[in-house]
Amino acid sequence: MVEGSGRLSVVTGAFGFTGRYITRRLLEIDEGVRTLTGHPHRPNPFGSRVEVAPYAFADVERMARVMAGAATLYNTYWVRFQYGAVTFDQAVRNSVALFRAAKAAGIGRVVHISIANASLDSALPYYRGKARVEKELRESGLSHAILRPTVLFGEGDILINNIAWLLRRFPVFAIPGDGRYPVQPVHVDDVAHLAVRLGHEMGDVTVDAAGPDTFTYEGLVELVRDVLGARARVVHVSPVAALVLARALGAAVRDVILTRDEVRGLTAGLLASREVPQGRTRLADWLAANRGSVGARYASELERHYRS
């Protein structure tokens, strides 16, 4: 356990998924927290313990004033997919603005949440964009830790929750391709614990954050189904057919369920790590402890991040 010092940290997206868990960890060790968020008017689950300010990507000085006095910036900002006027190029520029503000504010340490298998050579804009942000941080001169999760699960997640939701409600679950590609889920609180530890260390590091178990994607889906007691039959379809089905269902729930690049990343095995696992929480144990709530409601990406 990291000992608290009463110091101040800034967490981007403290009301979101990963940011919320990092914030809880910091508050547990008596650190003050400020957040920069895209949704400053949403209910604050931490009350007066967390100061709130909106992102101001076009005004670096304004964001620097928000960060003034803080020791560490925990950056969770990114976008899952391009939607409307939101693009990966814009997300890279916004990330650079955050790093510039941190440097201007005298931030001593940046913990940046990236993604496993980020690469400047990737054919997938999501992974290539993540790698571009990593490069900008490495070249910024800021002391930093880059944390690369595989795929996150935990209360409030979207992927595992919505797999469970589909398995609960439909007689058939479609898997793109042969389903043998690896998936290595990591609990979000394990990632938060690691992030806070790295925030109190020095030295520039890049670390994968993966869970203790690696599944095939088909095996993961079957695990979720069996723990929940669902009866859906797993079937294999082509990646194109899987996208057609996802788009049809997405129209029904008014959300983007799956993108073409996400299918490509999944089937290429990019949701697994080659490094020693850092997470301890087993997906099977977490599912068993939360079987009544996982997938009880659909989790909408657009409602959470793109709609007011």
Cα angle vertex 100, ends 79, 57, to 5°? 45
Low-confidence ranges of the chain (pLDDT < 50): 1-4
Among left, alpha and beta (phi > 0; psi -120 to 50; other), residue 254 is left
154-170 pLDDT per residue, tens:
999 999 999 999 999 99
DSSP 303: I
- Strand 215-216 to strand 182-183: parallel, antiparallel, or no bridges (unpaired)? antiparallel
What is the separation, in whole angstroms, between the first and last Cα of the chain? 37
The predicted structure's pLDDT at residue 85 = 85
Across 158-183, b (16+ Cβ under 10 Å) vs e yields bbbbbbbbbbbeeeebbbbbebebbb
Q: Which helix (H) or strand (E) holds 215?
A: strand 215-216
21-75 pLDDT per residue, tens:
999 999 999 999 999 999 999 889 999 999 999 999 999 999 999 999 999 999 9
Q: Give the list of residues 6+ apart from residue 132 with CB closer than 8 angstroms, or none.
A: 92, 120
The predicted structure's pLDDT at residue 68 = 97
If we measure between CA atoms, which residue out of 57, 38, 44, 61 comes closest to residue 95? 57
Instruction: Determine the Cα–Cα distance for residues 267 and 146; give it in Å rounded to an integer.
Output: 25
CATH architecture group of domain 8-152+186-209: 3-Layer(aba) Sandwich (3.40)
DSSP 42: S
- What single-letter amino acid sits at 47? G
Q: Are the CB atoms for 87 and 104 separated by under 8 Å?
A: no
The predicted structure's pLDDT at residue 308 = 58
Q: Are the CB atoms for 107 and 67 separated by under 8 Å?
A: yes
If we measure between CA atoms, which residue out of 267, 298, 294, 297 comes closest to residue 283? 294
Sequence spans of domains, the chain: 8-152+186-209, 159-182+213-306
In degrees rounded to 5, what are phi and psi of residue 8?
-110, 140
